[in-house]
A and B are shown apart, each in its own frame.
Chain A
Amino acid sequence: MSELDIHDLKVSIEGKQILNGVNLNVKQGEVHAIMGPNGTGKSTLAYTLMGHPSYTVNSGSATFKGQNLLDLAVDERSRLGLFLAFQYPVSIPGVTVANFLRTAVNARRKALNPEDKGIAIPEFRKLLMEKMSILKMDSSFAGRYLNEGFSGGEKKRAEVLQMAILQPEIAILDETDSGLDIDALRIVSEGVNLLRSQNIGVLLITHYQRMLNYIKPDVVHIMMGGAIVESGGADLALHLEEQGYDWVREKYENGTPSVN
Chain B
Amino acid sequence: MTDNSVVITRSKSTQVEDQFALTPVFSDGLGQLNQYQQQAWEVFKTLPYPSDTQEAWRRTSIRALKLGKLQLAGSNTNSQIPAELTKPLTDDLHGGEILFNGSQVTIELDEKLARQGVVFTDLRHAQTEHPEILSKVLQASKTYSEDKFAALAAAFGSNGVLLYIPKNVTVEKPLHSLFWTAGEGSLHAFQVFVFLEENSSATYVHESASAESKQGQNLHAALMDVKVGPNSKLNFVELQSLSSRDWNFTHEKVSVDSDAEVDWIFGALGSHLTKNFSDLNLVGRGSTGKMSGFFFTNGDQHLDHDTQQNHLAPNTTSDLLFKGALLGESRSVWQGMIYVAENASKTDGYQANRNLVLSDKARADSIPGLEILTDDVRCTHGATVGKLDTDQVFYLESRGIPRKEAEKLIVEGFFDPIMQRIPFEGVRKRFQNAIEQKMREY
- The residues of A with any CB-CB pair to B shorter than 8 Å are 50-53, 73-75, 77-79, 83-84, 86, 89-90, 92-95, 99-100, 103-104, 107-108, 111, 145, 162, 166
Contact = CB atoms under 8 A, between A and B. Distances in A.
B382 interface: no
B108 interface: no
Contacts of B409: 92, 95, 99-100, 103
A231 B413 CA distance: 44
5 contacts: A50-B394, A74-B397, A103-B396, A107-B405, A111-B400
B423 interface: no
A166 B391 contact: no
Residue among A75, A77, A100 with the highest chain B CB neighbour number at 10 A: A75
A50 B397 CA distance: 9
B417 A94 contact: yes
Contacts of A92: 392, 395-396, 409-410, 413
B361 interface: no
Interface residues of B, number: 24
A93 B401 contact: no
Contacts of A90: 389, 391-392, 395
Contacts of B405: 103, 107
A79 B402 CA distance: 10
Contacts of B397: 51, 73-75, 78
Given A53-B390, A95-B410, A89 B400 contact: no
B354 to A, nearest CB: 10
A128 to B, nearest CB: 14
Interface in B324-343: none
B429 interface: no
Given A53-B390, A92-B392, A103-B405, A78 B414 contact: no
A78 B413 contact: no
A95 to B, nearest CB: 4
Residue among B399, B405, B412, B414 with the highest chain A CB neighbour number at 10 A: B399
Closest 5 CB pairs of A and B: A94-B413, A94-B416, A78-B400, A95-B413, A74-B397
Contact of A104 (B389, B400, B403, B415): B400
Given A73-B397, A86-B395, A111-B400, 5 more contacts: A75-B401, A77-B398, A100-B396, A103-B401, A103-B409
Interface string B361-402: 000000000000000000000000000011110111111111
A107 B396 CA distance: 11
Given A92-B410, A94-B414, A104 B399 contact: yes
A229 B389 CA distance: 36
Given A95-B410, A95-B413, A107 B400 contact: yes
A143 B364 CA distance: 31
B408 to A, nearest CB: 9
A113 to B, nearest CB: 14
Contacts of B399: 75, 78, 100, 104, 107, 162, 166
Nearest to A105: B400
A107 to B, nearest CB: 5
Contacts of A108: 400
